[in-house]
Amino acid sequence: MISPPADTCCLVVTCPDRHGTVAAISAAIAQLGANIVGSAQFSTEPEDGTFFLRAEFHLPGLTDERLEQVRADIAALAREREMEWRLSVLSKRKRVAIFVSREEHCLLDLLWRVHHDDLHMDVVTVVSNHPDLREEVERFGVPFVHIPVTRDTKPEAEQRQIDLLAGDVDFVVMARYMQILTGDFLDRIGCPVINIHHSFLPAFVGAEPYAQAHRRGVKLIGATAHYATEDLDEGPIIEQETSRVTHRHGPDYLAYIGRDLERVVLARAVNWHLQDRVIVHENRTIVFN
């Protein structure tokens, strides 16, 4: 229901902050005959920091050939100014694999939003270490692959996942996948991985976080979506949200509220990622939303 605009490219740039960078990029886009329809910039420091830019520009009648030329022009500029960059066509659907264990709330919420075109992406595969959700997934016409994982079989399991997905997907979403992905896997999959988990103020380490939160009597429950890194739950944060609870709410209800938050926060993070609104810098994100 929310269609990305046609013939619209999105350029994302990270580079050292030097005089004239915006002018140079803007001039390059103008020379393409394109019109910038939205743009945001950010510098970490007034002088000599890192500079970030996201620009959406409209190129009426965009063809593949034309796109190649655009890429070549930007590449030339990038070499000159030490820019890291990426260019995406917003109307092109990104390909995603969703990893899940047994809890279906995040998975189904994503499938549903895709089904109703609220998330502009193709779910290539759902991968699970449990067979439970096959039927729910296949209902949406999405392939479901069960890859069991035990402590002993983890390397083979990750190898199967890599064989299945590497090179074929633009990003991976961990929609309550209760296994830690190894640094080795993250390297080899070669694309961003988005994860979602509960958060509290203060944080609770260890098992049964909702029971811990209940014993401490927290008044807010939270959820955080972030990019997965080797340090579990320590990757760059994309989005967070909290919701109010009271002493009347037992651990089950806290978890229920947590699920509602996780659905909404993950959907926002995926949406912004799809629209190339998120740039990772060191261990944090710039989110041009």
Q: How far is the CB of 209 from its own copies (least distance, A)?
A: 12
Q: What span, in angstroms and rounded, lies between the C-alpha atoms of 99 and 161?
A: 10
Place of tokens 């988005």: 194
Which residue in 7, 17, 233, 260 is the catalytic one?
233
- Report the chain's terminal Cα–Cα distance, integer Å: 19
201: nearest Cα among 257, 239, 242: 242
When the beta carbons of 92 and 116 are compared against its own copies, the nearer one is 116
Q: How far is the CB of 143 from its own copies (least distance, A)?
A: 19
Q: How far is the CB of 76 from its own copies (least distance, A)?
A: 16
DSSP element (H, E) containing 68: helix 64-81
When the beta carbons of 185 and 204 are compared against its own copies, the nearer one is 204
C-alpha distances out from residue 288 to 47, 132, 275, 277, Å: 21, 37, 10, 5
Residues in Cβ contact with 27 at an 8 Å cutoff, skipping those fewer than 6 apart:
none
When the beta carbons of 157 and 267 are compared against its own copies, the nearer one is 267
When the beta carbons of 96 and 213 are compared against its own copies, the nearer one is 213
The 3-state DSSP class for residue 250 equals coil
8 A C-beta contact, residue 268 and residue 106: no
Active site residue 231: no
Q: How far is the CB of 185 from its own copies (least distance, A)?
A: 23
When the beta carbons of 42 and 85 are compared against its own copies, the nearer one is 42
8 A C-beta contact, residue 194 and residue 174: yes
Q: How far is the CB of 64 from its own copies (least distance, A)?
A: 21
The token pair that represents 234 in the structure block: 């320590």
Q: What are phi and psi of 167, to 5 degrees?
A: 85, -15
Residues marked as catalytic: 233
